[in-house]
Amino acid sequence: MIGLLRGELLKSVTTRAVWGFAAGGTAFAALNAVLVAVASGTIDEVAEKKEAMAGFPVLLLLWGLVGAAGEYRHRTAAPTALVARRGRGTVLAVRIAAYALTGLGLALLVNAVAVGVALPLLAGRPGPDLTSGQVAEVVAGNVAALVLATVLGAALGALIRGPVVGAVVLLILALVVQPLVSGAWEREANLSPFGAVDIMTGGSHNTTLTVAQAGAVFAVWTMLAVLVAVVCERRRDLA
């Protein structure tokens, strides 16, 4: 099992895609910090200052989806299962675990950039300064959101198996459907995966859920997707 995990980790960190998403994630973190802290005008509330350190979970969700779905597009899923001599569901579970570990590394990198850029820009701004506890809370919420987003993306990629189709559907849901639903039914939208992850990263201020509650909601959605993906993997043809 350790060997299988090592192999899946090697695949996840040696593709060109992971470096592209890492660059994109860090660039977004730096740009978001500058836009919120400098270009957004008056910023004198703690919630607004926390937003300057927000990550972009949709990006890692997209990376997990594209990477996992690519196993089927490039027809590497079947040989992996045969060589590993493990059940299809077990191989998929290990692959998702590998993406979770790689996602953790990316999450820590993105948050380091976000904090490193945001804190100096926020120094001296009107209103109360962020305490070390508040910064730690933001980092914890962002890291959890990014890791869970990676896992959810990998599970969805195994279910959809089409990187392009999956990416298009994901972007439509995140950038079009979710904002519309949030505008009409904010309370219900907070219970959706995208609504919950938005709260975790500080992107949503007026909400009935705490960061911990939103994390629990997002974790439930993620684990449900993983269970469905593993069950379906056992029953579907890998070819």
Q: What is the pLDDT of residues 212-222, one digit of tens each?
A: 888 999 999 99
With bands split at pLDDT 50, 70 and 90, how would you rate the model's confidence at 41?
A: low
Structural domain span for residue 231: 1-235
Report the pLDDT value the prediction gives residue 152, as an integer from 0 to 100: 94
State the number of CA atoms in the 13 A half-sphere of 115 facing the CB: 19
Q: Looking at the whole model, is its pTM more than 0.95?
A: no
Q: Tell whether the model's pLDDT for residue 138 goes beyond 60.
A: yes
Amino acid identity, position 49: K
Q: Tell whether the model's pLDDT for residue 225 goes beyond 60.
A: yes
Instruction: Give the total number of structural domains in the chain.
Output: 1
With bands split at pLDDT 50, 70 and 90, how would you rate the model's confidence at 227?
A: very high
Q: Give the separation between CA 117 and CA 133, rounded to whole angstroms.
A: 18
CB contact at 8 A, 61 and 81: no
Closest CA to 104 of 9, 192, 176: 9
**43-74: per-residue pLDDT in tens?**
767 777 888 888 788 889 988 898 888 777 76
> Taking all residues of the chain, what is their mean pLDDT, rounded to a whole number?
82
Q: Tell whether the model's pLDDT for residue 133 goes beyond 80.
A: yes
Q: Tell whether the model's pLDDT for residue 76 goes beyond 80.
A: no
Closest CA to 44 of 118, 125, 137: 125
Report the pLDDT value the prediction gives residue 223, as an integer from 0 to 100: 95
With bands split at pLDDT 50, 70 and 90, how would you rate the model's confidence at 93?
A: confident
Among 6-10, 96-100, 169-173, name the most confident range.
96-100
pLDDT top residue among 165 and 11? 165
Q: Tell whether the model's pLDDT for residue 137 goes beyond 80.
A: yes
Q: Give the separation between CA 121 and CA 84, rounded to whole angstroms.
A: 50
**166-203: per-residue pLDDT in tens?**
888 888 887 777 777 766 677 777 888 888 888 888 77
Sign of the Cα torsion 176, 111, 190, 37 reads negative
Q: Tell whether the model's pLDDT for residue 149 goes beyond 90.
A: yes
| Average pLDDT of span 144-152 | 94
Q: Tell whether the model's pLDDT for residue 81 goes beyond 70.
A: no
Report the pLDDT value the prediction gives residue 211, as an integer from 0 to 100: 85
| Average pLDDT of span 80-99 | 75
